[in-house]
Chains A and B, each alone.
Chain A
Amino acid sequence: MKRYIFRLILMFVVVFPLHSFSQQGNDTMIVIGNSTMKIDTVRNLFNKKVAMIKQEDRQRNYYQGIRPEQLWVHYAGNMGMFSFGPAWDWGKKRQFETGFLLGYIPKFSSDSPKMTLTFKFNYIPYKFLDGEKISYTPFYTGFYTSTVFGHEFWTYQSQDYPKKYYHFSTNTRWNIFVGQQISHIFSQNKILPLRRVTYFSELSTDDYRLRHIAVNRKMKFKEMFTLSLGLRFERP
């Protein structure tokens, strides 16, 4: 507020006297010190200045807005042994969450360890038992697509194969999931800068599994779905 007043005074002192020479009409005039000017001009200039300041504030808020809200840590779930990355929540009720996860797969029986990159989208329709300290969501859903990097994986088959030989991509998997989560909500005066820690488990299936489900009738539960566990840390 102080700033507005200061700038307004500055405007009156510096800008208005200059304008007062050029603008003289029959409309209502305003007298500032030795100079006079139209009331409309003053209003216009004032509005312009306020808009400018608002724009600055909005930009500052925008940079605040794209700062990640959450940190996600995942275990398993077709996106590496462990994966972590920034995430944002958005929507009127903060019901959507979007995140990028970088994952790591150890070597195991293959010849090299691998990295994965995952884009994940959550939709949390409602929070059942939403308390002050703890909240529980029995159902939420969403999808993610995870890409594994390595020379042995491709999005499109290489030129060496006959045309349209492999009609699928080996490096990118599309997954859909359902999950449940428990949130622990912290009070303001904690040492860690955390508002909320969420523990979740998700049951997901990918396009490979869906194909197997489509062609086989008798599939076991563990062949159809895969589990993942994780944590979400939210900043205040």
Chain B
Amino acid sequence: MKKIGYKVYFLLRNLMFVSCVFVFMGCNDMFDYSPYDAVVTGKTNINAENIKKIENKCRNKDTIRVVFCGDTQGRYDATNDFVDEINKRKDVDFVVHLGDISDFGTTNEYLYQRDILERLNCPYVVLLGNHDCLGTGFHVYKKLFGNPNFSFIAAGIKFVCLNTNAMEFLNTDSVPNLSFMKHEVVKDTSLYTNTVVCMHIPPHNPEFNNNLDEVFHSYVKSFKGILFCTAAHEHHLAEKDVFSDGIIYYITDCMRRKQYNLMTITKNNYTYEAIYF
């Protein structure tokens, strides 16, 4: 009787061990070393890939419809609804996420939001927000999306995307990067007719480097056929003529209130729609 008992005990123990191994193999992605462990899995270098897609998609078009959204900040439900909303309408060419993809800059937030945005039928690019720089967030951003300053040309319109989160890069980096802007002003001018400047923090905001606001704006003005600027960060919908010279800064609301801006851009002209869904 005792022998049988031992056999059952060993069998159970081995079964338990094997099942444990299988269970834990199944939850491989549930092990977190730290919120800021920077373990990046899945698709990386997304902006560069999507820029290629955007450029191919918009090559023969003369009107493009671009969605600007921002400040998703850990609102997975709202972001999912946003993706469904954009997938429902077939007319959107691409989406520009204006930063603050995460709330605390944690690696998991980045990955979850990336997985949600990957469901979009159209390509998208993501800018760097101030919350995205917390902890190891900036390194994760660089791995996932690439350089925070980038530009691309879609249907003859140049989109210049800038890192303006000066507060997070005090004494470590030049933010906004004026030399990048200077370079972009003269680069490939024959390929486009108009420019749109995208950023996370607009000028004259306390988190912007306001020592450089005039210089920044002089570079913005020197872009060929500047149409408008667009930003997020302020968590309210706004349409501001920041420097009173006709260049409008369109500020998107946060994703919590389920809002995005739809811009229909043609040569030398654009129309603006603020949509709550």
Contact = CB atoms under 8 A, between A and B. Distances in A.
Interface residues of A, number: 46
B225 interface: no
A2 interface: no
Contacts of A170: 36, 104-105, 134-135
B33 A76 contact: yes
B77 interface: yes
Interface in A150-172: 152-153, 160-162, 166, 168, 170
B42 to A, nearest CB: 12
Nearest to A184: B13
Contact of B40 (A109, A166, A218): A109
A219 interface: yes
B215 interface: no
Interface residues of B, number: 41
Contacts of B143: 109
Contacts, number: 108
B30 A225 contact: yes
Interface in B207-242: 207
Contact of A152 (B35, B39, B104, B135): B135
Contacts of A146: 34
Nearest to B24: A229
Nearest to B40: A109
B77 A217 contact: yes
Most B CB atoms within 10 A — which of A110, A208, A227? A110
B32 A76 contact: yes
Contacts of B106: 208
Interface in B17-40: 20, 24, 27, 29-40
- Closest 10 A-B residue pairs measured CB to CB? A76-B31, A110-B38, A110-B136, A109-B38, A226-B32, A108-B38, A109-B143, A227-B30, A110-B139, A81-B33
Interface of A: 75-81, 105-111, 114, 116, 134, 146, 148, 152-153, 160-162, 166, 168, 170, 173, 182, 201, 206, 208, 211-212, 215-219, 222-223, 225-229
